[in-house]
Structure 1
Amino acid sequence: MTTVHSFEPVVDERSSVLVLGSMPGVPSLTASEYYGNPRNYFWRVLYGLHGLPVDDEYEARLAFALDHHVAMWDVLKSCTREGSLDANIRDEVVNDIPGLLRRYPNIRAIALNGTKSHDTFKRHFGATEEAARVVCLKLPSTSPVPTKTMRNLDDRLAAWRVIEPYLQNPVYRI
């Protein structure tokens, strides 16, 4: 088993939706990029919500996310895992999600990217005051692995549209 670590959060005061993955997969860790596997649907979903093609440059993608009020992080700070599958995760150490929510009070929804992210978040933080003040949305994983109900980009894009109301006209608290 290999010990892996998540990235620093991508977030600013404008963020109203926090997308939480579980732990970056090997291609993302190798590229040092959120959703760095070119087959992952995340960036195509995010840009697709706005009817736009995905920018080729990673820094431009990060800026696009922030400009559209989307923050990114992972539920796990570190774990041991062989390969990229969530099913192989062991020895979990969680990130301080409640602390991030306190620092960024404009976040009003958490988009939990997949079952592992959802279940880990709920187990560790579901009863916290910070989790109670936001809407927690369990969304299908943007992983390239197909499921019974998520076969392609259109399926994922339709499911992820539930975050759209939380991206509209965020109310900034200073």
Structure 2
Amino acid sequence: MNLRKAALPPAVRPDIRVLVLGSLPGEASLAAGRYYAHPRNQFWALIGAVIGMETLPAQPYEARLGHLLEARVGLWDTIASAQRSGSLDSAIRAPEAAPLADLVATLPDLRCVAFNGAKAARTGRIALQRPTIALIDLPSSSPAHAARSLAEKREHWLRLQHFLG
């Protein structure tokens, strides 16, 4: 059965410089009400490297989110809701786009929007076409995206450091 799933609220504050956008949270994240809750998702290790905090994945969720916001990195998704059975992006049907342009308009210090995976990039690039903000496609942190090693993904993700300084 394809139940309609809704995204989590944005995790942002007005001074963020980098906004990382996924597509739509998977089952583990939706059940926990937390971003990137699947234990094999590499997001927290990748973003921990970006903000210079290698111990980030081992910390409690609220502390991880707090460190991320303190480093001026925000989180959200490109899809507000969709029908989907399971967690795979390929199973997303009837997506409703998140109001990304509206959110970006409230973030005066934003320098970069990073898309966590191909589906997020395809969906998000349609909504965001402001020439003053860099749009960066990143390899997905999802455990379903095993085509690249963590080290290869990390190399791409570290490009975000440029926008935080």
Same fold (TM over 0.5): yes
Look up the match of 1:28.
29
1:171 alignment partner in structure 2: none
Q: Where in structure 2 are the equivalents of 1:68-87 lying within 5 Å?
A: 68-87=71-90
Counterpart amino acid of 2:17? S
Which secondary structure state, in structure 2, belongs to the residue aligned with residue 106 of structure 1? coil
Paired position in structure 2 for 1:121: 124
Q: Which deviates further from its counterpart, 32-41 or 50-59?
A: 50-59
Work out whether residues 15 and 108 of structure 2, in 8 Å CA contact, stay in contact via their aligned partners in 1: no
- SS at 2:16 equivalent: coil
2:55 aligned residue (53, 56, 59):
53
> 5+ residue gaps in structure 2?
none
Q: Structure 2: which amino acid aligns with 1:162?
A: R
For the 8 Å contact 2:49–2:158, the answer to whether it is kept is: no
1:111 partner SS: strand
d(CA) in 1 for partners of 2:92 and 2:49?
Answer: 30
Cα pair 2:139 2:156 within 8 Å, conserved: yes
1:3 is matched with: 4
Match of 1:138 in 2: 137
1:20 Cα offset (Å): 0.3
Aligned to 1:172: none
Task: For residues 116-144 of structure 1, give each alpha carbon's deviation from its aligned partner in whole angstroms, at most 9, with x where no partner exists.
Answer: 00001123x14x4xx32210001100001
Give the aligned residue type for 1:139.
L
Report the identity percentage.
33
Q: Kindly report which structure 2 residues correspond to 1:83-98, keeping only aligned pairs within 5 A, or say none.
A: 83-98=86-101
Indicate the RMSD between aligned Cα atoms, in angstroms: 1.2
* Secondary structure of residue in 1 paired with 2:105: helix
Aligned to 2:15: 14
Q: What TM-score comes out, normalization by structure 2 length? A: 0.93
How many residue pairs were aligned?
Answer: 162
CA 1:100–1:38: 2 relative to 1, 3 Å: same
TM-score when normalising by structure 1: 0.89
1:104 paired to 2:107: yes
In 2, Cα distance between equivalents of 1:65 and 1:119: 25
Aligned-partner residue type, residue 156 of structure 2: A
Report how far residue 51 of structure 1 moved: 4.5
Cα offset, 1:155, TM superposition: 1.8
